Amino acid sequence: MRELLEGSQAVAEAVRLCRPGVISAYPITPQTHIVEELASMVAQGKLKAEFVNVESEHSAASVVLGSVATGVRSFTATSSQGLLLMAEVVFNIAGMRLPVVMTCANRSISAPLNIWNDHQDAITVRDSGWIQMHAETIQEALDLHIQAYRIGEAPRIMLPVIVNMDGFILTHGLEVVDVPTQEQVDNFLPGYKPLYKLDVENPLTLGPLVGPDYYMEARFAIQETHKDVLELIPLVQGEFQKAFGRPSGGLIEPYRIDDAEKVIVAMGSVCGTIKDVVDALRAKGKKVGCLRVVTYRPFPAAEICRALKNVPRVAVLEKAVSLGSYSPLLSEIRSVFSGKKKSPVISGFVIGLGGRDISLDSIKEVFKRLTAKPVSEEFIDLKPELLQEKI
Amino acid sequence: MATENNKHLFGSGHTACAGCGQAIAARLVVDVAGANTIIANNTGCLEVFSTAYPQSAWGVPWIHSLFENAAAVASGIEAGLKYLGIKDKINVIAQAGDGGTADIGLQALSGMWERGHDILYICYDNEAYENTGIQRSGLTPYGASTTTTPVGDFSLLGNLRPKKPMPEIAVAHGVVYVATASVGYPRDIQTKIKKAVSLKGPKYIQVHVPCPLGWRHDPQITYDIGKLAVETGLYPLIEYENGKLANVRKLTKIKPVEEYLKFQGRFKHILSSPELLKQIQAIADYNIERYGLRAEFANPPPTQPISVQPKNREEERK
């Protein structure tokens, strides 16, 4: 059914359709509407789930760790400081191979305190072992949650998934979305059948102490599984398209890059703006395009290489910085072409930190600055007058 | 591994130190709770000595996540079991040491209590971070020497603060059943666990578990040390039911604190200082009064000052 929904409502609808048995909730802007909406569904009897109002994000993550370990599909959501507070548990959930699904309403990291959108939160847990996908639209955010359970709970995967959606831009924006029926989702997403769980009939010890003789193999296994995830995601995307008629998700999404001379690589909702600029410039005869990285972890290096290898100039446009080094996505995309005979000139631009508005002109500026000479860490839309001020 | 030949749900072959009070208490707890039990365990000695992969001492489903989150993980397990409709058949236990309970795990524990989860929380109180090498915790007793509260020329006392009153903090949360126990009284532990698992809602039991390594006592006298802590009034055995002090273990023969302290290296410096000894006796006296520990026919309190020959610290160093 097509409905005008706020992004958070759309995600809550998707989560409801996935039938989680346990939801843990802790408020943080701009995530809060999602768990509020789910609480309302539980209160109205539209969703049968145990709703646990925890005392911190650390416990929000710990509760779903415990409930998934008990064999029950579970959900939580967070943002920014919340993700950082639960970082320890985030790493632990992946290491314990528990397929939690969590929404991250992407937001900047303090200080200075700022509640608006960028990607610094999600980027900061990139090494945790979680699968991470970025939605471009509210429809895709809805769809990715349904796919996330299917991917994470696959017996050969058993890994948690973060669905990233840009804070405010997607969580609080309104969009006409197609909400699938329960029957459609039930057909696409079977119930969770854990490979292992806390069961008095078959007592297992989960989370033991592991010495140097075994630790590396456990970590290597996760690394290997991420290769399987790279194979599985396109299959799930294909099945999703067959079932729901939309090509949501996948590893990457190329947009008008076949003959492009300049391509911007980015993640999340900014790609909508980039695509608009691409269309406008194409109309003027400029050969430009956009490559959207949908799946950030596992990193689809081969697909990115294939997509960009014939493009002369590539701009990596990021809402995050690795302070003191290059931005994370820039480093990774450069590493894709390291040692390759044919490589684009790859430049890096930082944009939209802490919710700084990204206009069509901002994107045009990126295309303009993308010359034959590579640059790194160029900040777009900086205000020079503020840099003169003593803070 | 638990085998058919092993009637205990916490098997032998774990790697605890000789005389470890925590290992004794952990077995008592799980054996009484029974096979229909799921345990969430914080990081600490117990987790380390019972689950060194690929072995495990546990005969019940058991999970360890992190140092401070067993109460929250257990909350998730309980919620999951409720969703599955099988909570009534299964006991959920969260357990940790004193640091994992009273310090780093207190927030998660407070949340678990306040939300009213049907979980029994066990704090194995060995009065310091023994797993990392005897550092002070919020439950380290007044005057104990630890590696982070050492006694030296400028610090004659050791730990400067009294134990955090965890049982009262639990009572203040409306926890339905709060008790202290001691490895010196195994049957009392069993009785309290039995009672706790029969009640719905959050329960808290704090078990005093001597640590020969950290307390520097002979591993053969673990039970005796546990008993002496109770008999001196330094570790009162009490039960709160629905917020009311319901039972205390009465003391028929109250022993001077020196009887407890003298077997432990961590209190060696106290014995040589009549002033410090008096302060620790005052803690025991306060407990005895506060909880009404004195049996009607108990011996009178020591009226004479306790005679301990103060050692000349200067001489001792030579």
Q: Would you say residue A167 has pLDDT above 60?
A: yes
Q: How far apart are the CA of A286 and the nearest CA of chain B, in angstroms?
A: 54
Give the residue on B whose Cα is nearest the Cα of A96: B65
User: Mean of the per-residue pLDDT values for chain A?
Assistant: 97
Q: Which chain B residues have a beta carbon less than 8 Å from that of A67?
A: 76-77, 79-80, 83
pLDDT at A390: 67
A56 touches chain B (CB under 8 A): yes
A216 touches chain B (CB under 8 A): no
CB–CB contact A59 B107 (8 Å): yes
A58 touches chain B (CB under 8 A): yes
In 3D space, the residue among A366, A238, A234, A252 whose CA is nearest the CA of residue A308 turns out to be: A252
CB B121 within 8 A of CB B109: yes
Chain B residues within 8 angstroms (CB to CB) of chain A: 2, 35-38, 40, 47-48, 51-54, 56, 58-66, 68-69, 71-84, 90, 107-108, 110-111, 114-115
- Alpha-carbon distance of B183 to B178, in angstroms, equals 17
- Alpha-carbon distance of A51 to A76, in angstroms, equals 10
Q: How far apart are the CA of B253 and the nearest CA of chain A, in angstroms?
A: 44
In 3D space, the residue among A272, A267, A252 whose CA is nearest the CA of residue A320 turns out to be: A267
Interface of A with B in 195-214 (CB under 8 A): 198-200, 202-211, 214
| pLDDT tens digits along B38-51 | 999 999 999 999 99
| pLDDT tens digits along B119-139 | 999 999 999 999 999 999 999
Longest dimension (CA), chain A: 69
Q: Would you say residue A165 has pLDDT above 90?
A: yes
A200 Cβ contact list (under 8 Å, min separation 6): B35, B36, B37, B38, B60, B61, B90
| pLDDT tens digits along A96-136 | 999 999 999 999 999 999 999 999 999 999 999 999 999 99
If one counts every other C-beta atom within 10 angstroms of the C-beta of residue A230, the result is: 16
CB–CB contact A67 B48 (8 Å): no
Give the residue on B whose Cα is nearest the Cα of A20: B83
If one counts every other C-beta atom within 10 angstroms of the C-beta of residue A29, the result is: 18
pLDDT at B6: 57
| pLDDT tens digits along A282-330 | 999 999 999 999 999 999 999 999 999 999 999 999 999 999 999 999 9
Burial profile B165-197: b = 16 or more Cβ within 10 angstroms, e = fewer: ebbebbbebebbbbbbbbbbbbebbeebbebbb
Per-residue pLDDT of chain B (318 residues; tens, 9 = 90+): 444 445 899 999 999 999 999 999 999 999 999 999 999 999 999 999 999 999 999 999 999 999 999 999 999 999 999 999 999 999 999 999 999 999 999 999 999 999 999 999 999 999 999 999 999 999 999 999 999 999 999 999 999 999 999 999 999 999 999 999 999 999 999 999 999 999 999 999 999 999 999 999 999 999 999 999 999 999 999 999 999 999 999 999 999 999 999 999 999 999 999 999 999 999 999 999 999 999 987 666 555 544 444 444 444 444
Tokens of B228: 């002496």
Give the residue on A whose Cα is nearest the Cα of B57: A205
| pLDDT tens digits along B262-296 | 999 999 999 999 999 999 999 999 999 999 999 98
Taking residues A210-215, what's their average pLDDT? 97
CB–CB contact B75 A62 (8 Å): yes
Q: What percent of chain B has pLDDT over 70?
A: 92
Q: Which of B51, B66, B80 sits opposite A88 (nearest CB)?
A: B66
A92 touches chain B (CB under 8 A): yes
Q: Which chain A residues have a beta carbon less than 8 Å from that of B108?
A: 55-56, 58-59, 62
ipTM over 0.95: yes
pTM confidence score: 0.95
CB–CB contact B38 A70 (8 Å): yes
Give the residue on A whose Cα is nearest the Cα of B34: A200
Residue with tokens 């008993």: B227
Q: How many CB pairs (< 8 A) connect A and B?
A: 160
Q: Which chain B residues have a beta carbon less than 8 Å from that of A200?
A: 35-38, 60-61, 90
- Alpha-carbon distance of A151 to A161, in angstroms, equals 8
CB–CB contact B76 A88 (8 Å): no
In 3D space, the residue among B157, B183, B175 whose CA is nearest the CA of residue B16 turns out to be: B183
In 3D space, the residue among A299, A302, A298, A334 whose CA is nearest the CA of residue A316 turns out to be: A334
